[in-house]
Amino acid sequence: MQAMQAKQRLDYQPSDYTIDTLSLVFELDDHHTRVTARSSVRRQRPGADTLVLDGEALTLQSVAIDGKSLGQEQYRLAEGQLHIPADLDAFELELVTEIDPANNTTLEGLYQSGGAFCTQCEAEGFRRITYFLDRPDVLARYHTRIEADKARFPFLLSNGNKVAEGELEGGRHFAEWQDPFPKPSYLFALVAGDFDCLRDTFVTRSGREVALELFVDKGNLGRAEHAMASLKHSMAWDEQRFNLEYDLDIYMIVAVDFFNMGAMENKGLNIFNSKAVLADPTTATDDEYHRIESIIGHEYFHNWTGNRVTCRDWFQLSLKEGLTVFRDQEFSADMGSPVVNRILAVKTIRSHQFAEDAGPMAHPIRPDSVIEMNNFYTVTVYDKGAEVIRMMHTLLGEQRFQQGMALYFERHDGQAVTCDDFVAAMEDASGVDLGQFRLWYSQSGTPVVSVQEQYDPASQRYRLTLSQHTPATADQADKQPLHIPVKLQLLDGEGNNVPLVINGEPANNVLNLQQAEQSWEFEQVSEPVVASLFEDFSAPVKLEQSLSDAQLALLMTSADNDFVRWDAAQRLLAKQVVALVNGELEQLPLTVLDALRPVLLEPGLDPALVAEMLALPPEQALAQEVAGLDVEELHLARRAVMSQIGLALEDELQARYQQYANQAYRNDGKAIGERALKNRCLFLLALGGKADAQALCQRQFDAADNMTDTLAALNAVNQGRLPVAAQLMAQFEQRWQDSALVMDKWFSQLAMAPRSDVLDAIRAAMGHSAFDMANPNRVRALVGAFASGNRNAFHAIDGSGYRFLTDCLIELNGINPQCAARIMTPLMGWRELDETRQGLMKAQLQRLADLPDLSRDLYEKVSKSLG
């Protein structure tokens, strides 16, 4: 393994030159696309004499400055860079390069998806199109001309407004696009293909009409409506909540099948993974409808947070991603259930972000050192980044937060800026001191907050002491105390909130924990209380607070905050799993069942919330919470808890199931919540394993008029290991074998099945006609689902899971390094496992390290894992 160079955040230097306008001409051809790029270049650093451009996988044809072409001896092509002598203050540069989109399996730069050409330039893909200053602080105005065969590619799209189009010889045609907004190269996009187009319009608050165009593969118009509705909701919401209007006359979205991530916010021309667009009730689940809405929102919201104000350098990625995730979460909350959306976000942090902090790739939300930028589109940068924005929102309140946003845009519209610039705007607009708070940007790791209490009945004083400590992470040994907002309530024996009084004054229910240890003394507390801490997950920390089953049951059944009730249920259930692993328990105690039963029966409680309260924390989250739990014992204990609930509450689960069993499909929040609860009941009944559970599942599978119910029945029989599972899997495959996105669900069901022969089934599925190693959706559905969603099988003690994943990674390394690096994550976490597994995992990591052509993406993760 040959060492590769990391870039450091603190090495940032402004570019010696900048480019103000760029005119691009694409002569599209499968294997020989010619790209002519004319830049107006301007020197920024006096004394600079060499223009150094980034470029990868390009064939350079010619270089000309101010119309004079340069001989090969006049420039220098070094690894990934083109050096051009340029002792000039301003000049025109013309470059002609040739590229091979048809053989570009990396899905970065210009490539082909299905029959179409498309681009993906974030983070550093533009350099695979032409030599350029491929960095986000170089903002240029783009003019793009596309020429292509008219029959194969009737639609020719790029950013901005179409300014010309026409016919060319030989059956070809062209279109020209002008984007009025200066933008970094990562926001460039081009699409050429044949599509069906769903058209609509949106009238902005100031009365401008915007054309909305959604391009999908032919025959898929019927599956585009939800995405279009989501777009219009996003546009209206951003006006209402953030006072932000769309700024071009046209907004286009193109759905493609081959895509490395969910979607991309290219100015005026978003490109989406088709799975983040296409939905109808028979092929997409309620969860997928929700996800589509949130991704459409996310990319739309980037138009201001990302595009109008962009990042100075890639270390600042969370400036746009953390903020935009926060915005899409708020959008989802406002469109649906705030608490269910909050639960979703918290689950992501607890099972994935905490694991990232604990592993070899630990990094702050603003990383300091990067080898391959693609590896930093992480749950830390995105989701913890959003939590950091949310904490500022908690500290400032909505009104002052919005004043901060307004100041941020007033100061920085049209600029490429840093996370510090954002915090400064928040601070200056609100007057709230965020000095210590800034540490959240530079310090990695999960803080652990522990609790000490003292109650004195005589003086009626309750003293709460909180201590914070952030364990060392792989990237950073020393940690300092953070500014942590602690949202709390104190509950009396009936579960009612006790008024918070400190120093004779009503106290805020958000405490500022800023020291390593800090105490608060609450007065007029007339009985012992239960402290409900970090309500709504007010900070991304682990809480160490020992509450009894009875105290958790009280929070779970009586707290006035629904998030608190869910969180208490999670803690109560987690406790039982751990007690089972530790041999402290065989049967679920009555306290637990007696706390779950009323939740299941409480008519006033949102069914969607009940469904979440009856779901156990995933194995990954439990493994994060309690160190050293044996993989297999944890898996079995968690199953045992679910199965005991299924048996002990059988009557209640049955009743609640039947309440919703025969409802016709509707697509609204109420019906979605009821389906979620119905299917949670079915799942627990299947895990309980009584004979009639199988009949229920089969009946639902046969009768379902929507994919949510179909898949829930299939999942219940697979996870419950019911005998009918094989038959239903075969029926599902028969029905959907020609529909790739639906087959992804089948691949995932197969990969996550709790069976000892699961690897044989997965290997067989890799030969299925619907499977394609070059398509990231397929790879994630099968290989990714196995490695990250079938923890017990992946960590099989014979090492077969590790070997299998590594075989796949070796193949993917040569096809799509970005995709490979994303699915290798479960192989990195060997430190938290027993010695045998550690040895097996390290052996596979070493196999990767020994590859002669290891990609930068995998190199970074492998070397950090072994280091």
For ligand TRP, give the closer residue by CB, 260 or 274: 260
CA angle 728, 733, 738 (to 5 degrees): 155
Query: Footprint of ligand TRP on residues 238-257 (CB under 6 A)?
Result: none
Residue placing its CB nearer to ligand TRP in the complex, 377 or 409: 377
List, in order, residues 6 or more apart from 75 with CB less than 8 Å away: 63, 82, 83, 84, 85
Interaction of residue 129 with ligand TRP, rule CB under 6 A: no
Q: Pick what 377 binds: Zn ion, ligand TRP, none; C-beta below 5 to 8 Å, kind-dependent.
A: ligand TRP
If you search the block for the tokens 């309690």, which residue do you land on?
A: 626
- Shortest spacing between CB 396 and Zn ion, in angstroms: 23
**CB 213 to ligand TRP: min, Å:** 19
**Smaller CB separation from ligand TRP, 344 or 693:** 344
Instruction: Select the residue interacting with ligand TRP from 212, 261, 269, 762 (CB under 6 A).
Output: 261
| Shortest separation between residue 813's beta carbon and ligand TRP, angstroms | 17
123 binds, among ligand TRP, Zn ion, none (CB under 5 to 8 A by kind): ligand TRP
Please select the residue that binds ligand TRP; options are 51, 96, 123, 611, rule is CB under 6 A. 123
DSSP string for 543-566? EE----HHHHHHHHHH-S-HHHHH
Answer for which of 113, 341, 348, 374 binds ligand TRP (CB under 6 A) is 374
Q: Is 124 in the site for ligand TRP (CB under 6 A)?
A: no
Of residues 144 and 310, the one with the C-beta less far from ligand TRP: 310
CB half-sphere exposure, 34, CA atoms < 13 A:
10
Q: Report in angstroms how near the CB of residue 125 gets to Zn ion at its nearest.
A: 15
Q: Which of 27, 56, 122, 328 binds ligand TRP (CB under 6 A)?
A: 122
Min dist. Cβ of residue 302 to ligand TRP (A): 6
> Which burial class, exposed, middle or buried, applies to 754 when counting CB atoms under 10 A from its CB (0-12, 13-18, 19+)?
middle
Quote the least distance from Cβ 331 to Zn ion, whole Å.
13
Question: Cis peptide before 123, with omega less than 30 degrees from 0?
Answer: yes
Please say whether the beta carbons of 466 and 351 come within 8 A: no
The answer to the question of residue 265 lying near ligand TRP (CB under 6 A) is yes
| Token code pair at residue 369 | 């050192």
**Applying CB under 6 A, does 264 fall inside the site for ligand TRP?**
yes
Span near ligand TRP by CB under 6 A; candidates 11-19, 79-87, 115-123, 329-337 = 115-123
* Nearest approach, Cβ of residue 272 and ligand TRP (Å): 9
Question: Nearest distance from residue 302's CB to Zn ion, in Å?
Answer: 6
Write out the residues near Zn ion by the rule CB under 5 A: 321, 324
Residue 31: count other Cβ atoms within 10 Å of its Cβ: 10
Q: Are 275 and 744 in contact (CB under 8 A)?
A: yes
| Partner in contact with 520, chosen from Zn ion, ligand TRP, none, beta carbon below 5 to 8 Å by kind | none
- The smaller minimum CB distance to ligand TRP, of residues 386 and 581, is found at 386
Residues 6+ apart with CB under 8 A from 461: 455, 521, 522, 523, 525
Told to judge if 356 belongs to the known catalytic residues of this protein, a careful annotator would answer no
Phi and psi angles of residue 218, each rounded to the nearest 5 degrees, phi first: -55, 140
Binding mask 280-319 for ligand TRP (x = CB under 6 A): ------------------xx--------------------
Question: Would you state the structure tokens that stand for residue 263, as one six-digit string?
Answer: 């979607």
* Nearest CA among 530, 570, 569 for reference residue 553: 569
Output the smallest distance, CB 264 to ligand TRP, in A: 4
Q: Which residues contact 175 (CB under 8 A, 6 or more apart)?
A: 145, 146, 156, 157, 158, 162, 164, 165
Residue 227 lies near ligand TRP (rule: CB under 6 A): no
The active-site residue out of 122, 293, 299, 321 is 299
**Contacting residue, 220, 260, 303, 644, with ligand TRP by CB under 6 A:** 260
Q: What angle do CA 785, 831, 483 make, to 5 degrees?
A: 90
Interacting residue with ligand TRP among 286, 321, 356, 612 (CB under 6 A): 321
Instruction: Indicate which single residue of 120, 380, 443, 719 sits in contact with ligand TRP (rule: CB under 6 A).
Output: 120
Sign of CA dihedral 131, 136, 138, 140: positive
Extract the tokens encoding 509.
């229910």
The CA R_g of the chain, rounded to the nearest whole Å, is 28
Name the residue nearer to ligand TRP (CB basis): 764 or 774.
774
Q: Is residue 273 a contact point for ligand TRP (CB under 6 A)? A: no
Segment (H or E) for 533:
strand 530-533
Q: Which two tokens stand for residue 482?
A: 């953070």
Distance CA 226, CA 152 (A): 28
Is position 377 an interface residue for ligand TRP (rule: CB under 6 A)? yes
| 163 versus 774: smaller Cβ distance to ligand TRP | 774
**Burial profile 655-687: b = 16 or more Cβ within 10 angstroms, e = fewer:** ebbeebbeeeeeeeeebbbbbbbbbbbbbbbbb
**Considering CB under 6 A, how many residues would be counted as binding ligand TRP?**
13
Whichever of 126 and 186 has its CB closer to Zn ion, that residue is: 186
Give me the amino acid identity at 741: L
> Nearer to ligand TRP by C-beta: 377 or 665?
377
Q: In a 10 Å sphere around its CB, with 0-12 CB exposed, 13-18 middle and 19+ buried, how is residue 71 labelled?
A: exposed
Contact footprint for ligand TRP (CB under 6 A): 120, 122-123, 260-261, 263-265, 298-299, 321, 374, 377
**Residues annotated as catalytic (active site), given as ranges:** 299
